[in-house]
Structures are given as structure tokens and as C-alpha cells.
Amino acid sequence: MGGPSYLGAIDLGATKVFSLVATPEGLILGKDRRPTLAPRGPRAVLAQMEGSLRASLRRAHLSMRDLGAVGIASPGPIDLVAGVVRHPPNLPGWGALPLRRLMEERLGLPVVLENDATAAAVGEHTFGAGRGARHMVYVTVSTGIGGGIIVDGKPYRGKGGAAGELGHIIVQADGPLCGCGARGCIEALASGTAIARRAQELIAQGHAPILAEMAGQQEVTAALVAKAAKAGDRDCQALLEEVGRLFGLALASYANAFDPEVIVVGGGVTKAGPLFWRPARRTLMATAMLQIRRGLRLLRARLGDAAGALGMVAIIGQEMV
């Protein structure tokens, strides 16, 4: 194809804005990451997304006119046909925002929207851990738990673009209340938020002494729980073991439903390492049905922060062909 031959991509998250400029083959030429201004509302964030993309362009020694299109991975729900983000739970107070049109006007370029977890699934499938898999399940475990599904090499979106809400698989009927309003979703049991909440309960009950001491200086997060566990806090070790086990039950449910070749798991909570990873894998392989687990691979995501944006590069690259 002639004309502009680079692609821009922006991953709009609940806590950060990440952008990059890349070749259609996924070679990153420049990138930028900044904490989100989401609490200030959509207008501030639109300006911030443009600012981040311009910073990525500068680092790549390119300008807006070198880009053929820009992909935006956004928290859902998204009306993909209308290009509208509708009341995203992870961006409270946003209402219904015609994100595609507003960003097209701002950038003077065609914009393609996609659900952030679907974009990350495509990223890991095209450029990351899931390369070559025909059927793949992608799960990200951070503040919340999200997912994306690859069927026959392509993103599976369901009737309204919401397929792969893997954080809201129920693994404990009548379990803790989830942000979605249901009880016992895996997000309410194994997300970073859930780990932090359970750790605070441990401290309140006089347990987890190493964590309790650390918590004097810092906020209790899943990362701090992992740090305390590595420093020898038995209660934090047991907590991560239990969370990993419950997550393994969710993995088994995904596996039994989708019979994928690969499950790719990303997100901040995987940084807890073997303390989380080992019970998750053990439980998956002990729980999924025999024919399902035969040939099934459980892999850690490889693209880190860039998964969603690289997924957008893959999506718009394909649409431009």
C-alpha cells in the first residue's frame, strides 16, 4: 500500500493511558505511558490521549501524517458499530461517549475502537505468547479480571462485543459481592482488589504480621501482599495459595467451555510469581477434563503493558489490507 505506513494505538485504562507507534508488523517505534486523568472527565482524557500519541510520535521521529490510522482499546461496553463507549464501569461518570468520532476529529485520522481485553487477546495472539494458536483464551488479572477469546484465529466478540467477560464466571455461589452486582465471580475472589481486601481483613484480625508492618508505610495492594509473602509472611503465602487455587478453578471452567489450545494469563497479579502461578496451574490441570487438558498449554502473557495497543495494531493492520 502507498501513503502513510505506520499505525498509532492507544490503550485507555482505568489507571493509565498507554500509546505507541508501530509498523503493521508490530515493531514498536515509539511509546508513551502516563497515569490517567480519568477522574477529571472525558474531555481531559481525550486531550491526554492525543498528548500521549504525540509523545510516541516524537520518540519515533514521526508525525501524525505518517499514520494510516489509530486504534483505541477502551474499557467496555462499547457499541462497535456506532463507535460509542457506553457507561463504562471502569470509568465512572463517563456516560455515553462517541469516542471514535471525537478522536477522529481531534487527530484527523480514521480511528478504530475495540474492547480493551479483546484487543489485548489479539495482541498476545498475533505478537505474544499465543502466536499460532487456533483457539485461545486470554485472561488478565489486575485491578479487575478481564478476558478475550480467539476462535479460529480471530477475535470472538459475541452478539454485542461483550463476549469473554471472564472475570464474571461464578466459581463460588453465594460468595463475596462483586462489582458487577453478582456474588462469587472470580473477579471478587482473585483480582488485585480482592486480594487487597482479603489481606486487610487478615490484618484487622491480627494475622499477617509481616504485611501488617509493611502496611504502616504503604497502601495494602496485591503487590504488597506478594512482597510480604516472599518475605516469609505465612498468612500472605496461604492467601495467595488460596487465590491461585480459586483462579485455577476459573481456568478449568474456561478450558472446559472453550477447549482452547492455549490459555494466556497476563496482568499485574501474575507478578506475584509462583506463589500465585503454581496453585493456579496445579488446580487447572487437576480439574479440567482429561480430553480438555490434553495438549492444553497455560502461558504467561509476554507483551506486558503493550498487549492492548499491539492488538489494535494487528486489528487495524488487518482492516487496512
Binding footprint of a second copy, residue count (CB under 8 A): 51
278 to 307, contacts with a second copy by CB under 8 A? 286-287, 289-292, 294-296
Select from 207, 261, 271, 285 the one that contacts a second copy (CB under 8 A): 261
Draw the binding track, 13-52, toward a second copy (x: CB under 8 A; -: no contact).
----------------------------------------
Residue (of 22, 6, 75, 69) closest to 306 by Cα position: 22
The yes or no reply on residue 125 touching a second copy (CB under 8 A) is no
Q: Which of 249, 306, 309, 310 binds a second copy (CB under 8 A)?
A: 249
Question: Nearest CA to 155 among 45, 76, 85?
Answer: 76
How far apart are the C-alpha atoms of 266 and 144, rounded to whole Å? 12
37 CB contacts (<8 Å, ≥6 apart)?
17, 44, 45, 48
Residue 135 and residue 149: Cα distance in Å, rounded? Answer: 8
For residue 77, whether the previous peptide bond is cis, meaning omega lies within 30 degrees of 0, is: yes
Q: Tell me which of 246, 301, 306, 315 binds a second copy, using CB under 8 A.
A: 246
Quick one: 92 or 160, whose CB is closer to a second copy?
Answer: 160
Q: For residues 250 and 169, what is the distance between their CA atoms, to the nearest angstrom?
A: 7
134 forms part of the interface with a second copy (CB under 8 A): yes
Binding test (CB under 8 A) with a second copy, winner from 95, 158, 273, 274: 158
Closest alpha carbon to 10 in 42, 60, 45 = 45
Q: Does 244 bind a second copy (CB under 8 A)?
A: no
Contact 266, 307 (CB under 8 A): yes
- Binding positions for a second copy, rule: CB under 8 A: 76-77, 86, 134-135, 147, 149, 151, 156-166, 168-173, 175, 180-182, 184, 246, 249-250, 252-254, 256-261, 286-287, 289-292, 294-296
